[in-house]
C-alpha cells in the first residue's frame, strides 16, 4: 500500500491541504480562503479561529474516505504573523497581527534611534522593521487587554501560525515552532540556535512566553485528524524555507523565487553565514538532513497581492487568472509604472511609510496598461533583489527556479527573465511550499535517507530566456528605480 504524507500550507489569504504519495505526487487537494481584517490604514489582522476553521474544512475534504492514516504531517505557514495564545482556554486573545501590518513602525524607528539595530542584526540577521514578529508581540503585550496579565501568569505563548496549528492539531498537548519560523521573530539567535534573553528584554518579552523550538524534522506531537485518524507531525518550516526545500535547493548556492502574496527570493548559503551590505536578510533555512542552514533572503511585500488588488480594489478583473490575457492586449505599459507599496516597501528599501502609486498615466491609459504595469512591478521588484544577491555573494546567478501561484503566468515569467537578465525555470509542480512541508515530514519519519531523489522534478520544466539586451534592461531598471524614488517616505 502506498504510504502518504499530509501537507498543510497555511498562507496569508487561505489554507491549502494536500495529500501526497511517498514520491511527492499529489493525490488530493483542498483550499479555503479566510477573511483579511483591516481595522485601520496600515493594519492587517487575522482571526485564529478563521484560520483553524479553514484548516479543519480542508482536512475533512482531503481525508474523506481515507482509511489509512498518513505516515506523517507537515506544516508550512505564513511567517511573522503572531497571536497571543492562552494555553488554558486554547483560544487566541483577540486577533493576530499579520506580517504585512505596519503599526509598530514608530517603535522600530525608536529602537533604531536608540542604537539597537546593530545588536539585532548581529544576533538575528534581521533589520528593525515592523514586518517581523518581535515588535508585534510587544504591542500585543502592551495594548491588547488581558495579554500582559495572562503572560505573567504563565498562560500565554506568542505563537506564529505554525505553533498555533501544532497546538490545535495536538489538542493542546504541544506548542512548538521550528528554527526557520523562530528566526523571523527578532528574538532568536541564528548562531546559537536559541531564544535570546537579551533581545527579549529589549522588547519586554520573557523567553518562557515563546514556544519551544524543535528541528524542522522533529517530533511535534500527534495530530488528531478527521475520521479518527492519528499521524505524527514531523515537518515544520516557514513557507519560504519550505518552498526552498521543496524545490530541492538544499545545497549551498541553490536559489528560488516564490510568487505568493509577496515574493521571496532565497539563496541557500549552507553552513556559511553571509551578512548582506545591501538590505537583504540573513535567515535560517533547512539543509539536506533537516538541520538548519543559512540563507540570504530578499523579501518583496507585494507580489500576487497586486493582482488581487486589481481584482478586489480596482475591479478591473473578475478573476486573478485574467491578468495575463488583459496585459497581453497591449505591447507595453505605455510608460505606466505601478509601485505597489501598499504595506510599505521591503527589501532593499525597508521603508514602512512608503505608499503605493500609479505613475505615468495619460488620457490614453487603459485597463490593459495598468494590468501590464502590475505584472512588470512584480518582475522589477524581484530583479532588484537578484542584482543585490549577485553583489553580496559574487555569484553570476544566471538561472532562477520559480514556484507559487503567479508562476503559472507565462507573461510574468518572460518579464522576469528580461528584468533580471537570467533564465527562469518553472518545474512541473509549482506548489513547492506544500511539497517542501511533505518532504520534511517524510524525512522526519525516515521514508527516505535523504530527499534528493524524491525532490527532483518529474517531467519537463518550462524555461523562459531573456529577450531584452543589457542596455534595454538597464534603462528599464533605471526608470523603475526613479518611480520607486517618488513614493519613498
Domain range summary for the chain, segments of one domain joined by +: 4-236, 248-426+459-489
pLDDT of residue 352: 83
Topology agreement, domain 4-236 and domain 248-426+459-489: yes
**Model confidence pLDDT, tens digit, residues 163-196:** 999 999 999 999 999 999 999 999 999 999 999 9
First-to-last CA distance in the chain? Answer: 59
Instruction: List, in order, residues 6 or more apart from 426 with CB less than 8 Å away.
Output: 402, 403, 407, 413, 461, 462, 463, 464
Q: 66 exposed, middle or buried (CB, 10 Å; 0-12, 13-18, 19+)? A: middle
CATH 3.30.420.40 fits 4-236, yes or no: yes
Q: 434 exposed, middle or buried (CB, 10 Å; 0-12, 13-18, 19+)? A: buried
pTM, entire model: 0.87
pLDDT confidence bin for 23, thresholds 50/70/90: confident
Most confident of 34-43, 366-375, 429-438: 366-375
pLDDT confidence bin for 1, thresholds 50/70/90: low
Say if residue 397's pLDDT is above 90. Answer: no
**Alpha helices (H) in 222-303, listed in sequence order:** 239-246
Per-residue pLDDT averaged across 303-310, rounded?
Answer: 88
Three cell numbers written together for 170? 495536538
Which fold does the domain 248-426+459-489 belong to in CATH?
A: Nucleotidyltransferase; domain 5 (3.30.420)
Concatenating the DSSP letter of every residue in 331-370 gives: SS-TT-EEE--BTBB-TTT-BTT---EEES--TT--HHHH
Per-residue pLDDT averaged across 352-363, rounded?
Answer: 92
Three cell numbers written together for 171? 489538542
Q: Does residue 115 have a cis bond before it (omega within 30 degrees)?
A: no
pLDDT confidence bin for 11, thresholds 50/70/90: very high
Say if residue 2's pLDDT is above 80. Answer: no
Amino acid at each position: 500500500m502506498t504510504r502518504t504524507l499530509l501537507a498543510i500550507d497555511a498562507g496569508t489569504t487561505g489554507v491549502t491541504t494536500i495529500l501526497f504519495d511517498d514520491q511527492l505526487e499529489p493525490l488530493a487537494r483542498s483550499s479555503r480562503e479566510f477573511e483579511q481584517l483591516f481595522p485601520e490604514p496600515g493594519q492587517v489582522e487575522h482571526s485564529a479561529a478563521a484560520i483553524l476553521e479553514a484548516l479543519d474544512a480542508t482536512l475533512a475534504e482531503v481525508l474523506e474516505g481515507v482509511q489509512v492514516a498518513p505516515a506523517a504531517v507537515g506544516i508550512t505557514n505564513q511567517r511573522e504573523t503572531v497571536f497571543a495564545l492562552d494555553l488554558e482556554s486554547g483560544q487566541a486573545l483577540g486577533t493576530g497581527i499579520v506580517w504585512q501590518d505596519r503599526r509598530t513602525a514608530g517603535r522600530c524607528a525608536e529602537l533604531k534611534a536608540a542604537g539597537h539595530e546593530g545588536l539585532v542584526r548581529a544576533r538575528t540577521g534581521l533589520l528593525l522593521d515592523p514586518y517581523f514578529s518581535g515588535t508585534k508581540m510587544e504591542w500585543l503585550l502592551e495594548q491588547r487587554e488581558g495579554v500582559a496579565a495572562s503572560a505573567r501568569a504563565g498562560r500565554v505563548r506568542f505563537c506564529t501560525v505554525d505553533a498555533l496549528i501544532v497546538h490545535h492539531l495536538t489538542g493542546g498537548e504541544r506548542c512548538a515552532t521550528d528554527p526557520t519560523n523562530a528566526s523571523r521573530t527578532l528574538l532568536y539567535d541564528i548562531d546559537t540556535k536559541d531564544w535570546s534573553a537579551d533581545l527579549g528584554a529589549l522588547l519586554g518579552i520573557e523567553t518562557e512566553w515563546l514556544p519551544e523550538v524543535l528541528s524542522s524534522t522533529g517530533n511535534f506531537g500527534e495530530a488528531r485528524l478527521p475520521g479518527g485518524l492519528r499521524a505524527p507531525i514531523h515537518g515544520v518550516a516557514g513557507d519560504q524555507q519550505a518552498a526552498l526545500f521543496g524545490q530541492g535547493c538544499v545545497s549551498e548556492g541553490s536559489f528560488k523565487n516564490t510568487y505568493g502574496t509577496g515574493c521571496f527570493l532565497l539563496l541557500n548559503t549552507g553552513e556559511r553565514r553571509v551578512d548582506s551590505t545591501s538590505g537583504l536578510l540573513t535567515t535560517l533555512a533547512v539543509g539536506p538532513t533537516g538541520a538548519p542552514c543559512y540563507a540570504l533572503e530578499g523579501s518583496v511585500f507585494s507580489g500576487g497581492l497586486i493582482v488581487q488588488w486589481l481584482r478586489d480594489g480596482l475591479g478591473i478583473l473578475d478573476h486573478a487568472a485574467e491578468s495575463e490575457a488583459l496585459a497581453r492586449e497591449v505591447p507595453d505599459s505605455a510608460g505606466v509604472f505601478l509601485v505597489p507599496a501598499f504595506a510599505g516597501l521591503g527589501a532593499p528599501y525597508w521603508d514602512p511609510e512608503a505608499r503605493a502609486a500609479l505613475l505615468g498615466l495619460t488620457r490614453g491609459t487603459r485597463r490593459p496598461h495598468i494590468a501590464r504595469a502590475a505584472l512588470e512591478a512584480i518582475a522589477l521588484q524581484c530583479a532588484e533583489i537578484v542584482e543585490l544577491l549577485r553583489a553580496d555573494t559574487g555569484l553570476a546567478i544566471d538561472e532562477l527556479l520559480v514556484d507559487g501561484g503567479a508562476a503559472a503566468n507565462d507573461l510574468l515569467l518572460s518579464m522576469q527573465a528580461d528584468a533580471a537578465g537570467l533564465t527562469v525555470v518553472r518545474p512541473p509542480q509549482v506548489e513547492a511550499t506544500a511539497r517542501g512541508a511533505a518532504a520534511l515530514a517524510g524525512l522526519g519519519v525516515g521514508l527516505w535517507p535523504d530527499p534528493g531523489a524524491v525532490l527532483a522534478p518529474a517531467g519537463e520544466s518550462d524555461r523562459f530566456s531573456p529577450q531584452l539586451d543589457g542596455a534595454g534592461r538597464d534603462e528599464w531598471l533605471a526608470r523603475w528605480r526613479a518611480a520607486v524614488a517618488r513614493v519613498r517616505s
